[in-house]
Structures are given as structure tokens and as C-alpha cells.
Chains A and B, each alone.
Chain A
Amino acid sequence: MSFLLGCPFCGPRPVDEFACFGEATRRPEGSPSLRELTDYVYFRDNVAGLQREWWQHRAGCGEWFLAERDTRTNEVLDVSLPQPERRGVRPVGSDPPASGGAG
């Protein structure tokens, strides 16, 4: 792993500055069954292909963001700031700057 990853704020940076939090998951709502809960907590799709995942620019600006990465080639097709569940409550940057594209 030595590819460049585009931070939405800092632009392309070496991937070792980032922490990967794995696949973006969907947290169940209400009272999930045990199966729904274990699916969410323990199971991952682990695709060979395009995957949406959480990254944090831990050794940089600290921002959490989402990246669309091809797990076979490490090509990052898109990075974006998350759209929080409570959309509109927090002023989220509308679009990542141009330099924040795929690394």
C-alpha cells in the first residue's frame, strides 16, 4: 500500500498518513434482530472491486471522509465528505475542492 489518497481538504497525500475505518456500513434502526445486529457488527462484503469506505486523515487535518476505492487496484475514484444523518444541521462543505479528486 503506497498509493496516494485525495483528502477532501489537503489533496493527494501518501496513504500512510491516513487511517482506514473499513467499509461504510449501515447502522440498523429501531430494534434489530440478532441476525441484523451481527450482520452490521461483524459481517463485511469484502468485495473485489469498488468499495465505499471510511478514511481519516489522521496524521494530517484529522477529517473523516468517504472514498470509493477499487480494492483490486487501489484506484480511488472519488472522495467525499459524509452527508450526516442529521443533514443540514451542520454546515458541511458543499463540494470537495478540485484538488481532492482521485489520487
Chain B
Amino acid sequence: MRLPPQPRERIDRSSRVLFTFDGKPAGGYPGDTIGSALYASGQRIFSRSFKYHRPRGLLCCSGHCPNCMLTVDGVPNVRVCVEPIRAGAVVEPQNVWGSLDRDLLAITDKIGGPFTPVGFYYRTMIRPRRLWPLYEKVLRNLAGLGRVRDDRNGHRRYDVEHRRARALVVGGGSAGRTAALAAANLGGGVVLVDEGAHLLGAELEGVEVLAPARALGIWEGNLVPVDAGDVLYRFRAERIVVAAGAVDQPLVFPGNDLVGVMLPGAVRRLVRDFSIRPGSRAIVLAADERDLEVADELRDTGVVVSRAVNLADVPLAEIEAHGRHGEVRAVTLEGRTVDCDLVVASAGRQPAYSLLAQAGGRVDYDSARGIFVPGELPAGVEAVGSVTGEGCRTANPLRSSDGKGRHDKSFVCVCEDVTTKDVARAIGEGFDSIELSKRYTTVTMGPCQGKLCQLASIRLYARTTGIDEGAVGTTTARPPWAPVELGLLAGRHFEPARRTALHFRHEEAGAPMQWAGPWKRPYAYGEHPEDEVRAVHESLGVIDVSTLGKLLVEGPEAAAFVERLYPNRFADLRSGRIRYAVLTSDAGRIMDDGTIARLADDLYYVTTTSTGADSVLAWFEWWNAVWGYEAEIVNVTGALAALNLAGPRSREALGRLVEDPDDVSAEAFRYLDAKELDVAGVPCLALRIGFVGELGYELHFPSPAGEHLWDRLVVEGARPFGLEPQRILRLEKAHIIVGQDTDSESNLLSAGMPWLPKLDKDDFVGKFALEHFAEREERERLVGFTMEEDTLPAEGAQIVVEGYPAGRVTSARRSEAVGQVIGLAWVTSERTEPGTRFEIRVDRRLVGARVAHGAFFDPAGERMRA
């Protein structure tokens, strides 16, 4: 099958490259593609079609059509006609039951008829409705492309690289190369992208060549993603030169998908690049003189060309191909049948304008030449070569066999197996615009993305409806212009998480880590979170609260700034004192909560929730961009670690770690005091707050000292407790969790904190809204409740009063210290009096609960003030 050495061949005959195809040894030369090597060794059937499982062979040989898609080394849908040969590759057929030559599913082509018209399963498999999942599963197995390998461990690594280019040239044909060299003469920064591997070594002085690589689209701001296999380049180009060329258009006639029916470009490539004689008896149906030359090239290689017709001069109305076992054997041209094993059929060349249209360029129909050509282009985008329409024209691609008798199918779209009948039927059913018809028939939606079928479908549409092609118009060009692996778009597989300075201590202790916003936090250190709760109540516990947001606000106007940002007062907070703080928006909604300590006249230390740190920082900075107070905001969230030491023994434990135990005495370090302390040699900001309702101290200190201080506290007898015990402890105190117990509708009045906002302040964010809220009755309020029996309702469980929904549970836990199941819930306003009974839906029954106000445990707060 190989010809003697040809002048322009790309193969190197001095060595062989071996691989396997369908389990059998196969081989070719360096420079071959997998497709050319298989073709040279006599393989004709490369795939089975999407729906009918008809045998398919090489058609375009340029990486556009789906006909040569095989699975290579486990990667499905590889177009082997452009995939460079490589030693040891494992090439396998796909979408086949049996073998490529005998595919059992080809029965769908034979029984076809009433079962497989376009959209048939939407109509025929509606009832019974519950069987649809089964139908879908069967259909998915019958139709389709290759299978994605379920290989979680062996996944490839993909990367993204951001690049800039002065000029990015898409397409390495002669026009593209000329444009690239011209651009390079004006200076550097010129990149040329081409699909073919052979351009790699091309001599283009001053031009960086990326090949094989594919430009996927042109986005806003001249952004061009380029798929280079394992790397996605995101190019920003000052100039984009599109030299995407033109695409051979298939001729549509009965049997036009038989193996052996090829486009002229494919035959040229097989002969010139790979020195293959593509057949023995050929018929050439050309759209112009250029394509007709293929007949001479074939003759030169010893192929008998039985007939060569230029359809522009001899417009044959009837063409039909006949085959055996899916391979072409003869062609009937207006009644005369000629034997052949190769049909070179072309409807001409259509400019590949897609990228230009994506960039915002106009596309017009040129009726004289029968092609769609790019019109006005946006600034910064140019077109050169055939993509402008230069040297392109098409003949009418549609050749009908409207005569009597049975005829084979005429395919408009080989990707999705859509025939002329399907399109005509869709139009008949009322899908009377090209965009609707596209969605219904899926023509242009297959792997070629319309490169080979858009023109024919528009022509067919125009002929059927009597509207001219220009008025029918094209469907919207969308990225990706070339097929791309999803992995490349997804990028490298990683999920960033923030870890505290104590992360490894938690892991060593065997604590399961869970997400808390961007952070990983320990759930608990053992099977029984209630043991950790008990330790805090009875003795001493320590929790890593480094995830809290931490901001410093400093400056002569820091006080005025904080005062205006928060609903309660901070200007009158004395240095060394702490206050609870809730941030509200101007809509009066609760955004975040935490504590604020005043460290000096001009310095505040603000803590936020773990998940709210970033948005609170942005919020602070935005308001100060609006107001312009002389105050600076510094985010020290990551710089400082924080530990909360809690429990009745916390004072004595802390006393042992400071130089003078009197510094932490009840008198010297009162509830809600903030002071600087050296603890175990670490300079700390110590805040005495009732975080979990027990006597407790929160130590904020430089992160690097995290493990040191943690270890010392543990040696002093502090039992580590995790997030779950913390939730129980805080719920016992009826502390709310912003975002858990509140939502975007909650305000300070309805969430049970009417004492917090100081409406007599001149201004604060949310003041106007709170004033209006104060004038009306809230529909719902947040209240505490205790369950009448030992049943734990789900968070989100419905509250029922006299058979009607009357609220929802937001938090619920079993509390050993209270001896009951306790929780927080939103209930309608008339049900908020302490002791009011309502019912909560748990599983399928209703369980009684009663409203409780204030903390469930130690309501007077004596323990934390001790």
C-alpha cells in the first residue's frame, strides 16, 4: 500500500514504530499518525457511527470528523488521523459490541425506520414515566462515543499558564506563516498555534511555534485559550490573526458515509504526507478545478480513476453510492453505475470562520460563491488566507435520489447520524428556525461542531423552506472550536484548605478534620464529644480558635470608625476592655459576630467568625473607602494563632504559666478584660471572655508558637475539645451562630438581641433599617426551646402548631449538663413567651417542645464571671 518514497513525505522509513490495535500488533513509521499507519496496513473501518453503528472510515483526515475516533491508552475519542504514532500505544475501538467489522449494534441501522427518527425517544419513551431512567441507561449504552476511564488514581496532571503575546496567529498554513513572519519583523512576542505536529520543527525566525495545539476560542479582551495537551495557555494577545483556513465540505447523497468515501483533502494528505495509495479504483466528484486535480494525483500513484467530474461544470443531480459490509463498491451517477473502492467527493470549501464569529465578527452569505464569509471584524482581530473566503466556493452539496426504489441514507451530519430525512421531518414538525432545528436534530452539535455539516444543513433548510441561505443564517458560533479534554478545563486537581498552626497536633490526636469555611478544623478528639464537654464543665479544656478572623484597626479616628460600623457603642469602651460585637448591613441584617477589645485609645482588636473573616475585612475596607476615616485596617488572621482555655481550673492553670500568678487573679484580670501576658514565654494578648460559658481565657499569639503553647496547656491538664463539643457548649449558653441560626432575613430585633443596637447613636451601618424594624412587629423570632422527651430533631425540622407550620429548628443538641435536648428555633411571634408549647416534626411524628429564654445552663453567667 505504501508508495515508493515521495518528495514531500513526512515519514522516516529508516525505522518502525510498533503499537497494538484491537489487541493485535500494528506498526508504522516515525512521522506517521496512528490513523495513517493503520490505513497503510489495510485497516479501512475505524469506528462505528453514533446512532446506527454503521461502519465508518477516514473521511477528512484532518482531525475534524468523528470517523477515526478510537481509544488510545485509555483516553477516549482520540482522532487517530492526527494523533502522532508512538511506540507501545494501545489503540482500541469504542462504541462497539463485538468488533469493528462485526458490531452487533448495527441492527439499529437495519430496523431503523420507525424506531430511530430524530427525537424518537422523547416521543416514544414517555410512558410509563418511572421507566425513563431505565430507557435512558439503555440508550446511553447503545448510542454515544467512547467511555471515560474510571481511573481516579492515575489521572493526568493539567496546568494553566498565563501568557501574553503581541501577535497570536491561529493556523500554520501558508497564510498563517506569512502573517507570523511579517509580525515577527515588527518585533518579538509572536506566537503561532497549529493543530499539526509537523509544524514543530518549522523554520520560522522570531516566531514561537506551539504545535500540536488548538485555539479553543476568542473571548472578550482578546483572551485565547490554547490547548497544548497537558497545558492550557491563556493568551492575552494585542493582535489575533486568524488563519484557520477552509474546511472541505462533504457532498450529501445516499450512501455518502460509506467507508471509502473521502474528502479531497484527506486523499491529498494520505498520498503526499504518508505516501499511501488510498485505493485501486476511484471516482472523483470535485467542486472546482483545484479538487479535480486530485484525480491526476491519484493517477500518478497508480490508482485507476474511472470517472472525474467537476460538479461546477457537470452538475450531476443524482449520485448514489453502494457498498458491501459498509465499504463502498460502486457509484451510480445519473443511472450509470461504475465500480470503485474510493470515492473522492467534495461540495467545495467553506471558510472556518467560527473563531472570528466568536470574537464578534459578522458573517455574511456570499450567494455567488455559495459560502459564508466573515464580514466586519472587531478591533485587534484580523483574518488572512482562505478563512476570508479567498479561493473558496462550494457547489450545492445536496444530491438527492428522489427516484423510485429503496435508497441508502443521506447523511447531513456524520457525527450525530442525522440524515436529510431527519432535518426535513424536523422542519415539517415546526422547528422552523435553524437554531431550533439544530437543537432538535442535534445537527452541528457533534464532535465536529458543524465544521462538516453546518453548510449542508443550512442548504437543506433553505431548499426545504424556500428561504434563501442568507436569510436562514448560521447558528451561533461558540467555544470550544476544537474538542478539549475536560481535565484540561478543570485544571490541576486540588482543593485549597487553610490549616491552623496546630493542624498536625489535631491530626496526631486522631481528630477527624472537617471543613469550616476555608479552614479545616477538628470535629472532636474521640468518639464521645460529650466527654470533652464534661471536661470543660468540670475541669479544663482547650480549643484551637486560630480560625477566628482577627483585624487590627488603628489610627486617630479608629474609635469613630468602629463606632460607626457597629450598632453598639465602642467609642466609650475603655482600654483593656472587651465587648460583644455584631455587624449589620444597611438592610439591618446580621452579617457577622465576634468580640472587640480596645487595646489603646487608637487601637482596636476585632475578632470575627471563622467563615466571615475575608468578607468582614472587605466590608471594613469598603466602608472606609466611602468614609475616609484616618484609620488603618490590618488583617492578622493568619499571623496569630488563638487558643481558648476554658473550665473552672483555667485560672490556676494559666497562673502556673505566667511569671506572676497575681496577674491572672480574679481582681487583676476581670471578666471582659484584655491584657498582654507572657504565657509559657509566649507574648500573648489574653482576652477573658465567656466563649463557651465557663471561666475562660482566649490567648492570641504569633502562629509559630502555636504547638509550644498548646503542648504546655495540655501538660497543665487541659483536654483538647473540638468543634462539636464547642457547639454543644455554646448552645447551652444559647449563643447564636451567624449563618446557622440566622439567615439573610435575620435582624438584631428578631434574633433576640434588641438590647444591642443603640439607636440614639448619630449613625451606624444598619441604623435606618433597625429604626423601621423597631416600628413594626416581627413575623418570626429566634427563641430557645427544650424538648419534652429525649429526641433529637434535625436542624431545619419543621415546627407545627395546631397542624400548621409555624417555624423551623436551626440548632439542636443533647445536653448532659442541662439534662435535656435543647435548641434554637425561629417561631411565629405569638409563640415566643417562655413556656409556650409547640411541636416539632421528628421523622414522621410530632414531639412537644417548650420555649425557653436565655441560657439553658448557668443562666446568670456566674461560672464565666467567677
Contacts and interface: CB of A to CB of B under 8 A. Distances in A.
Interface of A: 1-4, 14-15, 19, 21, 27-28, 31-32, 34, 37, 40-42, 54, 56, 58, 62, 64-65, 74, 82, 84-87, 89-90, 92, 103
A4 B575 CA distance: 46
B216 to A, nearest CB: 12
Interface stretch (B264-272, B531-539, B617-625, B671-679): B617-625
B202 interface: no
Contacts of B557: 89
Nearest to B557: A89
A92 B414 CA distance: 64
Interface string B313-337: 0000000000000000000000000
B805 interface: no
A41 B588 CA distance: 10
A87 B586 contact: no
A85 B626 CA distance: 6
A85 B768 contact: no
A62 B621 CA distance: 9
9 contacts: A1-B220, A2-B220, A14-B236, A27-B626, A40-B586, A56-B622, A86-B627, A86-B628, A89-B628
Interface string B326-365: 0000000000000000000000000000000000000000
Interface string B616-655: 0010011011111110000000000000000000000000
A92 B221 contact: no
A54 B557 CA distance: 24
B223 interface: yes
Given A32-B768, A34-B772, A41-B769, A3 B221 contact: yes
Contacts of B221: 2-4, 14-15, 74, 103
B193 to A, nearest CB: 18
Contacts of B626: 27, 82, 84-85
Contacts of B236: 4, 14
Contacts of B627: 84-86
A89 B630 CA distance: 7
- Closest 9 A-B residue pairs measured CB to CB? A84-B628, A64-B625, A3-B221, A2-B219, A90-B628, A86-B628, A2-B223, A41-B587, A2-B220
A19 B622 CA distance: 12
A37 to B, nearest CB: 5
B95 to A, nearest CB: 35
A32, A37, A58: most-surrounded residue (chain B CB, <10 A): A37
A37 B769 CA distance: 7
A20 to B, nearest CB: 12
Nearest to A15: B221
Interface in B482-525: none
B771 interface: yes
Contacts of A54: 622
Contacts of B769: 37, 41
B220 A84 contact: no
B628 A31 contact: no
A82 B624 CA distance: 10
Contacts of B587: 41-42
Nearest to B635: A62
Contact of B768 (A37, A65, A84): A37
Given A84-B626, A89-B628, A31 B618 contact: no
A27 B586 contact: yes
A2 B236 CA distance: 10
A92 B628 contact: yes
A64 B622 contact: yes
Contacts of A103: 221
Nearest to A64: B625
Contacts of A15: 221
Given A2-B221, A84-B627, A31 B771 contact: yes
Interface in B199-251: 219-221, 223, 236
Given A28-B768, A37-B772, A21 B220 contact: no
Nearest to A56: B618
A84 B625 contact: yes
B771 to A, nearest CB: 7
A77 to B, nearest CB: 15
Contacts of A28: 768
Interface in B396-430: none
Contacts of A40: 586
Contact of B629 (A19, A32, A37, A89): A89
A3, A28, A65: most-surrounded residue (chain B CB, <10 A): A3
A74 B625 CA distance: 24
Contacts of A62: 621
B813 to A, nearest CB: 35
B220 A3 contact: yes
A87 B628 contact: yes
A26 to B, nearest CB: 10
Contacts of B630: 89-90
Contacts of A82: 625-626, 628
A57 to B, nearest CB: 11
A41 B586 contact: yes
Nearest to A1: B220
Contact of A58 (B618, B629, B768): B618
A12 B628 CA distance: 25
A27 B587 CA distance: 11
Contacts of A2: 219-221, 223
Nearest to B632: A90
Given A28-B768, A34-B772, A90 B622 contact: no
Contacts of A65: 625
A32 to B, nearest CB: 5
Contacts of A86: 627-629
A34 B768 CA distance: 9
A74 B220 contact: yes
Contacts of B586: 27, 40-41
Contacts of B618: 19, 56, 58
Contacts of B628: 82, 84-87, 89-90, 92
A74 B627 CA distance: 28
B162, B236, B768: most-surrounded residue (chain A CB, <10 A): B768
A84 B625 CA distance: 6
A54 B772 CA distance: 27
A33 to B, nearest CB: 9
B760 to A, nearest CB: 13
A22 B622 CA distance: 12
B238 to A, nearest CB: 11
A21 B619 CA distance: 10
A65 B622 CA distance: 9
Given A21-B622, A65-B625, A87-B628, 9 more contacts: A1-B220, A2-B221, A2-B223, A14-B223, A37-B768, A37-B772, A56-B622, A64-B621, A89-B628
B623 to A, nearest CB: 9
A59 B618 CA distance: 12
Nearest to A88: B628
B222 to A, nearest CB: 9
B166 to A, nearest CB: 15
Contacts of A34: 772
B621 A56 contact: yes
A84 B623 CA distance: 9
A85 B625 CA distance: 9
B218 to A, nearest CB: 10
